[in-house]
């Protein structure tokens, strides 16, 4: 196969990978590195501090700006009360008001979006955050902490909410491992070519 034909085939494969609405399964090897000149935002919602810890690892390794997603009405400290509120919000498709917004969201190319897994997906404040902005053409990288059940359907839910964004392979880890996960986070960031 000559070099021109090979180059055309590789370009076509890359365009198929990025060309549709959202592609979570495109191999990292097919994408160009996203760090460097790209402007990064690490946005996260954290109730217990575990997701905040992962966000801080990402920020320390990949750089960018750090932003905490916070609901105007805070969640209760009691575990069972939080679960009940989260369940009600999920069932009613509620989008709580957020304390702060990002004025210059258009200036970011890559958004890491982090959250704890509640009932198999992201919490309502993350839904509000992703819904408030036009994220068309942006790269979204989900990351999550969980109590043992994995990321659930959260990455798929991010894709549905942001159909004009490219959603990369996410990262999920048990919450009790967050504090010591820096090396694991670094390996993942390298795999998705963010470092």
- pLDDT of residue 21 exceeding 90, the answer is no
Give the tokens for residue 141. 């990288």
Confidence grade of residue 26 (pLDDT, cut at 50, 70, 90):
very low
- The larger pLDDT score, comparing residue 11 to residue 48, is at 48
Do residues 159 and 122 make contact, with C-beta atoms less than 8 angstroms apart? no
Domain-by-domain residue ranges, the chain?
A: 22-191
Q: Are 45 and 115 in contact (CB under 8 A)?
A: yes
Q: Is residue 29 pLDDT above 50, yes or no?
A: no
Over the chain, what HEC string results?
A: CCHHHHHHHHHHHHHHHHHCCCCCCCCHHHCCCCCCCCCEEEEECCCCCHHHHHHHHHHHHHCCEEEECCECCCCCCCHHHHHHHHHHHHHHCCCCCECCCCCCHHHCCEEEEEEECECCECCHHHHHHHHHCCCCCCEEEEEEEECCCCCCCHHHHHHHHCCCCEECCCEEEEHHHHHHCHHHHHHHHHHCCCC
pLDDT band at 129 (very low <50, low <70, confident <90, very high): very high
For the chain, the C-alpha Rg in angstroms (whole number) is 17
Q: Lowest-pLDDT range, 15-19, 138-142, 175-179, 185-189?
A: 15-19
CA-nearest of 153, 155, 126, 129 to 142 is 155
Question: Which whole number is the average pLDDT over 5-21?
Answer: 33
Cβ atoms of 115 and 154 closer than 8 Å: yes
Give the pLDDT score at 174: 97
Sequence-distant (≥ 6) Cβ neighbours of residue 152 within 8 angstroms: 117, 119, 120, 121, 146
pLDDT at 36: 52
The model's pTM: 0.81
Alpha carbon distance 46, 101 (integer Å): 16
Q: Tell me which CATH code domain 22-191 carries.
A: 3.40.50.360
């Amino acid at each position: 196969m000559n070099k021109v034909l090979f180059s055309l085939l590789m370009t076509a494969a890359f365009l198929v990978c990025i060309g549709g609405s959202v592609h979570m399964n495109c191999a990292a090897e097919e994408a160009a590195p996203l760090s460097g000149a790209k402007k990064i935002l690490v946005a996260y919602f954290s109730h217990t501090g575990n997701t905040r810890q992962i966000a801080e690892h990402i920020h320390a390794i990949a750089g960018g700006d750090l932003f905490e997603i916070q609901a105007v009405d805070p969640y209760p400290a009691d575990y069972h009360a939080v679960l009940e509120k989260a369940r009600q919000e999920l069932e009613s498709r509620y989008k709580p008001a957020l304390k702060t917004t990002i004025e210059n969201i258009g200036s970011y190319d890559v958004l890491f979006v982090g959250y704890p897994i509640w009932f198999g997906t992201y919490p309502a404040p993350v839904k509000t955050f992703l819904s408030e902005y036009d994220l068309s053409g942006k790269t979204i990288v989900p990351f999550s902490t969980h109590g043992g059940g994995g990321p659930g359907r959260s990455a798929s839910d991010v894709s549905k909410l942001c159909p004009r964004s490219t959603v990369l392979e996410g990262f999920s880890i048990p919450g009790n491992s967050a504090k010591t996960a820096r090396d694991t986070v670094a390996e993942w960031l390298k795999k998705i070519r963010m470092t």
